[in-house]
Structure 1
Amino acid sequence: MASDFPTSLQFDGIAEFVAAARLGTFTAAAGELGLTKSAVARAVSRLEARLDAKLLHRTTRRLTLTSYGEAWLERCTAALDELRRGECILKLAQNSPAGQVRIDLPTAFGRLYVMPVLLRVAARCPALQLDVSFSDRMVDLVDEGIDLVVRIGDPGNSADLVARKLGVQQMVICGSAKYVAARSTPQQAADLAGHDCIAGGNSPRRMAWLLKRPDGSVIPHAVPIKHRVCDFEMMLATIKSGHGLGQLPLWMVQEDIRNGEIVTVLDGMSGGEMPIHLLWVRTPALPAKIRAVVDALVESARHFPGAASRP
């Protein structure tokens, strides 16, 4: 049922009533609340009028509760206790990591490099609750109720968001050591026409890789498509199986390059560098639960293979 009085008045007089009932006089209640005696008395009278019930018997010496007052005091005390508990929880959440944090991550990079960091944070902060999703689309943090996102590419220039750079994604052209040995190493961009190339997108248009020219500029270079695999991790698996060359982020193939399973070609020519950012909604003070995740990701970004640069 809707209230018959404005929401702003629902709690008017409750603190004064509880103090007066507990202390026995308006004078003592006024002293505790930092108000005048008349202000406390008027607040209680307004409360009684709103409830259409007499709560206190008034004498020149002392206040006593009516039967209605006893019932109302019990409810008010419970409500004020709950509000105090809520205030304590809120202050605790502001000072120590606790509560739910919703995070949206890029699919492959998020699974391989960000999720392990989040799990370490969760182990250190048992009161933290992670709600993690994976997507490569641009999300609206406010509309979708997301606290943090990691995005690869231009983060935009929204005054409502804070963007903290975690590093740079560097692209390389690579193939399995067996494939390159069997098909020869391309020496220039034109040599790619004689190779099997693996596309990583789902566009029906002809695939182009971003290549650097000697002057440092980056241009798209069309390559022949042998296979199309619309997932970075599966694209890597296809490359490692010897089915052709692909252009992938260095963070994804760094370990395979180190152990010799994957080799890069046209080194220095593969372009398409993109920044990696952590974004969150701008607020006057960052809650401790979000600060804990931000600090951990910024620190760990220094060690992301092939991706991070010092912010």
Structure 2
Amino acid sequence: MLDRLTSMKIFIKVVELGSFAAASQHLTLSPQMVAKHIEALEHHLGARLLHRTTRRQSLTETGRLYCEQCRLVLQAAERADSLAANTLGTPRGTLSVSVPVTFGRTVLLPFVHNFQKRYPEIQVHLSLTDQLIHPTMDCHEAVIRIGELETDLTVVSRPLTAYRRVICAAQTYLEKHGFPEQPEDLMRHECLVYENSGGPVTTWHFSQGSVTRPVTVSGRIISNDSSVLHSAALAGDGILVGYEQALLPDIKSKRLVRLMPRWKVPDRPVHLLYNAGPVMTPKLRVFVTELQEAFQPEASFRR
């Protein structure tokens, strides 16, 4: 008799990867064994979970609902394992963390590298996305969020070091188009525009003391991937507003030139969100503690 939790894990992996073949390769199982686990679930439920074709599988309505519940069951099993491990006093298990893409690549990945050296029994499942993620609804134990938080959040939030931004461009672009000196000058320049779930962000804000100026910008390159805009700036395609820590190496090497030093691009708040629940697991507790120590709100990155 096949273990049902194992069958659920395999079912979820088939759904995530889109085919038995991809799931079998990922799980190092034969396609026949993967199919056997799915068939066992369907037999137990008396219902079809997947529409099968020669190349790809898709969820039935029953399969979609069952997949959601499987995720909850497996998370509950993982929490039970973690709570049991608490009696041994050793943080262990898989910790699912969601983080914005640029922040994750630039500063969180080095943090995780050092974190896992200290806690070798914790496996960090790092999900990089700029979509709005909720810790409890999206099956993540911890979420790092950039920007203002909703007022009705029911999870714990902890402030981290602010997300500092700078404006810059390549010397080749500036030699051809000139240096902007005031925010309004940007309206005559080619700007590299970031696009989030609400559309292109074409209003850039600048401050100098108590003076704040919003400027409407435009450009021929628009992307929802900050690394694409970074590469475009290096190629001399326009002016970029981006995360200081990601751009600092290119600014120091003079591949990018920092612009309008008297004008500041307002920082964005960064928060760690998590659901502590009735009992906080050891793995989450040490992650929260270490992250807050590494990214204290008052801390300033070395320039």
* TM-score, scaled to structure 1: 0.63
Distance of 1:138 and 1:204 partners within structure 2: 14
Change (3 A) 1:122 1:87: closer
Distance of 1:235 and 1:304 partners within structure 2: 29
SS in structure 1 of the partner of residue 174 of structure 2: helix
CA RMSD of aligned residues (A): 3.0
Match of 1:177 among 171, 175, 179: 171
- CA apart distance, 1:152: 0.5
The answer on whether the counterparts of 2:200 and 2:222 sit within 8 Å (CA) in structure 1 is: no
The answer to whether 1:297 aligns with 2:291 is yes
Q: 2:45 matched to which residue of 1?
A: none
The answer on whether the counterparts of 2:85 and 2:92 sit within 8 Å (CA) in structure 1 is: no
**Structure 1 gaps, min length 5:** 1-85
Q: Describe the superposition over 1:147-171 as per-residue Cα deviations: whole angstroms up to 9, x where unpaired.
A: 1011101133446322111111122
Q: Specify the code of the residue in structure 1 equivalent to 2:231.
A: A
Match of 2:184 among 179, 190, 205: 190
SS in structure 2 of the partner of residue 142 of structure 1: coil
Q: Specify the code of the residue in structure 1 equivalent to 2:202.
A: M
Distance of 2:82 and 2:193 partners within structure 1: 55
Q: 1:100 matched to which residue of 2?
A: 94
Q: 1:251 matched to which residue of 2?
A: 245
- CA apart distance, 1:307: 6.2
The answer to whether 1:216 aligns with 2:211 is yes
The answer on whether the counterparts of 1:106 and 1:152 sit within 8 Å (CA) in structure 2 is: yes
Match of 1:260 among 233, 254, 259: 254
Match of 1:109 among 92, 103, 114: 103
The answer on whether the counterparts of 1:93 and 1:289 sit within 8 Å (CA) in structure 2 is: no
Q: Equivalent pairs: percent with the same residue?
A: 22
Deviates more, 1:174-183 or 1:256-265: 174-183
Q: Describe the superposition over 1:167-208 as per-residue Cα deviations: whole angstroms up to 9, x where unpaired.
A: 111222110123223432111123223322111116666822
Change (3 A) 1:147 1:244: same
Q: 2:52 matched to which residue of 1?
A: none
Matches within 5 A, 1:87-236: 90-92=84-86, 95-158=89-152, 160-201=154-195, 207-212=202-207, 215-217=210-212, 219-236=213-230
The answer on whether the counterparts of 1:121 and 1:292 sit within 8 Å (CA) in structure 2 is: no
Q: Describe the superposition over 1:1-40 as per-residue Cα deviations: whole angstroms up to 9, x where unpaired.
A: xxxxxxxxxxxxxxxxxxxxxxxxxxxxxxxxxxxxxxxx
**Structure 2 gaps, min length 5:** 1-79
Q: Which has the larger radius of gyration?
A: 1
Distance of 2:242 and 2:126 partners within structure 1: 24
Deviates more, 1:108-117 or 1:239-248: 108-117
Q: How many residues align?
A: 222
- CA apart distance, 1:115: 2.0
* TM-score, scaled to structure 2: 0.64
SS in structure 1 of the partner of residue 280 of structure 2: coil
Distance of 1:224 and 1:131 partners within structure 2: 37
Distance of 1:247 and 1:88 partners within structure 2: 42
The answer on whether the counterparts of 2:204 and 2:215 sit within 8 Å (CA) in structure 1 is: yes
Q: Describe the superposition over 1:42-88 as per-residue Cα deviations: whole angstroms up to 9, x where unpaired.
A: xxxxxxxxxxxxxxxxxxxxxxxxxxxxxxxxxxxxxxxxxxxx899
The answer on whether the counterparts of 1:93 and 1:287 sit within 8 Å (CA) in structure 2 is: no
Change (3 A) 1:284 1:268: farther
Distance of 1:91 and 1:168 partners within structure 2: 34
Distance of 2:229 and 2:157 partners within structure 1: 30
Distance of 1:276 and 1:245 partners within structure 2: 24
The answer on whether the counterparts of 1:251 and 1:304 sit within 8 Å (CA) in structure 2 is: no
Change (3 A) 1:271 1:143: same
The answer on whether the counterparts of 1:166 and 1:278 sit within 8 Å (CA) in structure 2 is: yes
- CA apart distance, 1:131: 2.0
Change (3 A) 1:214 1:140: closer
